[in-house]
Structure 1
Amino acid sequence: MSSAAVVDDAAATLAQALETRLALLQTGGVVPRVALTGGTIANDAYRLLGANPDVDWTRVDLWWGDERFVPEGHADRNDQQAREAFLDRLEVPDERIHAAPAHGCDLSLAEAADAYAATLPDAFDVVLLGVGPDGHVASLFPGFEQLDEVERRAVEVFGSPKPPAERISLTFPTLNAADAVWFVASGDGKAEAIARALAPEGSVHETPARGVRGRAETAWIVDAAAASRIPTDQL
C-alpha cells in the first residue's frame, strides 16, 4: 500500500506516527527494528520523541539507513545527531543502538560497510528516509553504481555529491525488505524530486527514491511546498 499525506508540520507528524507505530508493535510483543534517517526534518522529529508513554524506548532496536564515514562523535554523523536529539535524553540503551563503524576504526570503508551489514536484522519493521533535491535516498545517489547492487546489504560510497565524501549506505535489497517505508520531506526544494519519485514512469538512476518500496506500506509525509508538483490524483 502506498500513500502520500500532505501535512502542515512534517517533523511533528513523523514523530507522532513513529511513536504510534512503535507502541502498536510493542503491544503485539514485537521489539521494533527501525532504520533511522538523518537530516533537518528527522532531527526535528527526534527532538519531539518521548511524548507517547506507551513506547518503551529500552525495547527498540535502531540502525541508520546511511552514515557518514567520519570519526566517532563527529557532528556530521547521523548517530551523533540522534544521540543529541533523543537517544541520550530517552536513555536508549547502548545495546539497542547499532551504529555503523566510524573513521579511525582500523577498517577500510568497504570493510566497515560489510561489518555494518553483519549487524542488520533480516528485515526492518520501519525504515525512515529523507529525500534529497536530486532524488537520492540514504546515500544512494543518481547515477552511482551502488544503485545496481543486488547482493550486498550495505555498501561503501566514495565521492558523495554532498560532503562528507565517504559514506556507508544500505542498499535497495535491504531497504525493500522493510515492512514499512516512510519518506519525509519539506520545502519546495524537494518538490521536483518527489514528483519524479511518484511518477508512473521514470528511472531509478535519475531518481533513486523510485527504487524503494515497503513490503506492506509505503508512505510519504510531506508538507504542501514539497507536494506542490505531485498530481492531485496521486494525493
Structure 2
Amino acid sequence: MTAQVVVHPDKATLAAAVAARLITTLADAQARHGEVHVVLTGGSMGNATMTALADSPAVRAVAWELVHLWWGDERYVERASEDRNATQAREAGLDRLLDLGLQSGNVHELPASDDPEGFDLEAAVQRYADELAAVARESSQPAAGTEPLGRPGADGLPAFEVVMLGVGPDAHVASLFPGRPTLQVQDRTVVAEANSPKPPPARLSLTFPALCTADEVWLLVAGTDKADAVAAALGGVDVDEAPAAGVSGRRHTVWLLDEDAASRLA
C-alpha cells in the first residue's frame, strides 16, 4: 500500500491539522463502533499536537469517555520525570481532556522505574503487554448480556484506530532504533530497549507487529533535521537502516510533514 504524503507550511499549522484530522477520525469511528483506541507519540510534534487538540474548538465533537489512549513507547524512568512522554503529554494538554470526559482509567501509561510493584525492565514489558491484552478482551468480549464496547483487535491488542509516530533524525520510530535486534521481534507486542542510542537509555516500545495492526498509521514530522530521515524512509531504504520505513496502517499510512521535513523529497 502506497503511503500518502501531506505537507503543511510549518510546524504550528501541521500540529493544528493533525489535531483536526484526529478529531474527525475519532468522531467518525465512534459513530461506527463506539469505543476507540489511539496510540500517542511523544517528542515535540506529539506535544504540539496534544496542545492543538486540547485548544481546538471542535474537541467536544469526540465522546472522550469512549476513548482509550496508549503510548507507542516510553522512557523507563521515574513516573514524575520530565523525560517521560506521558508527563510531557499531560503538561501539553492531555489533562484538559479529563475535564471533557476522558476517563483517567483509559489513559494507559507505560510502567515507570519507581512504580511500587518494583518492575525491572523485562517485567515492565510484560506488564504493559498484559494490560493491552486485558483491555482488548474487555472491549471485544463484554460481560454476558451487554453489548461490546468496541470492535475486536488483533491477538493481544485492542483495535487501534490510529497510531501516531514521530520520526527521529536517524529514522527511528517509537523506541525502535536502526540496527537493533528489537526491529526483528515478531512474536511480542511490547519490547525492551536497554541501551538506546538516545538518552535516557532504558526504553519500552510497541513492536512493529503491534504498531502495524492500526487502521491508520500517521507519521508526524517537522524540521530540517528530520528531512534526510523522511527522504530515506520514503525512498525505499531498508528497515534496518530506516525503521520508519517499516510501519504501515491496515487501511492508511499518512506522512504528515511540514515543509522543512519534506525539503529533501523529490
Q: Which residue of 2 aligns with 1:35?
A: 39
Query: How many Å separate the matches in 1 of 2:14 and 2:184?
Result: 31
Residue of 52, 67, 83 corresponding to 2:74: 67
| Gapped regions of structure 2 (runs ≥ 5) | 133-156
Tell me which protein shows more helix as a share of its residues.
2
Instruction: Between 24-33 and 136-145, report the one with greater CA deviation.
Output: 24-33
**What are the superposed Cα offsets for residues 182-222 of structure 1, whole Å, 9 maximum, x if unpaired?**
000011111111011111x3211100001101010000100
Does residue 161 (structure 1) correspond to residue 168 (structure 2)? The answer is no
Does residue 108 (structure 1) correspond to residue 120 (structure 2)? The answer is yes
Query: How many Å separate the matches in 1 of 2:64 and 2:158?
Result: 21
Q: Which residue of 2 aligns with 1:211?
A: 246
Q: Which residue of 2 aligns with 1:4?
A: 5
Alpha-carbon distance, 1:163 to partner: 0.9
State the SS of the aligned residue for 1:143.
coil
**What are the superposed Cα offsets for residues 20-45 of structure 1, whole Å, 9 maximum, x if unpaired?**
11111112232110000001111111
State the SS of the aligned residue for 1:146.
helix
Alpha-carbon distance, 1:87 to partner: 2.2
Q: Which residue of 2 aligns with 1:146?
A: 182
Query: How many Å separate the matches in 1 of 2:22 and 2:200?
Result: 28
Q: Which residue of 1 aligns with 2:233?
A: 197
Residue of 77, 84, 95 corresponding to 1:77: 84
Alpha-carbon distance, 1:86 to partner: 2.1
Instruction: Between 202-211 and 20-29, report the one with greater CA deviation.
Output: 20-29
State the SS of the aligned residue for 2:131.
coil
Aligned partners of 2:182 and 2:191 also within 8 Å? yes
Aligned partners of 2:37 and 2:158 also within 8 Å? no
Query: How many Å separate the matches in 2 of 1:29 and 1:202?
Result: 37
Query: How many Å separate the matches in 1 of 2:182 and 2:97?
Result: 35
Alpha-carbon distance, 1:136 to partner: 0.1
- Give the alignment's Cα RMSD to 1 decimal: 1.2
Residue of 190, 204, 215 corresponding to 1:179: 215
| Gapped regions of structure 1 (runs ≥ 5) | none
Residue of 126, 140, 150 corresponding to 2:162: 126
TM-score (norm 2): 0.84
State the SS of the aligned residue for 1:48.
helix
Aligned partners of 2:16 and 2:53 also within 8 Å? no
Query: How many Å separate the matches in 2 of 1:223 and 1:229?
Result: 12
**What are the superposed Cα offsets for residues 116-173 of structure 1, whole Å, 9 maximum, x if unpaired?**
1122234311000000000000000001110000101101111111111101000001
Q: Which residue of 1 aligns with 2:27?
A: 23
Query: How many Å separate the matches in 1 of 2:254 and 2:177?
Result: 21
TM-score (norm 1): 0.94
Does residue 46 (structure 1) correspond to residue 50 (structure 2)? The answer is yes
Report the residue type matching 1:62 in the other structure: L
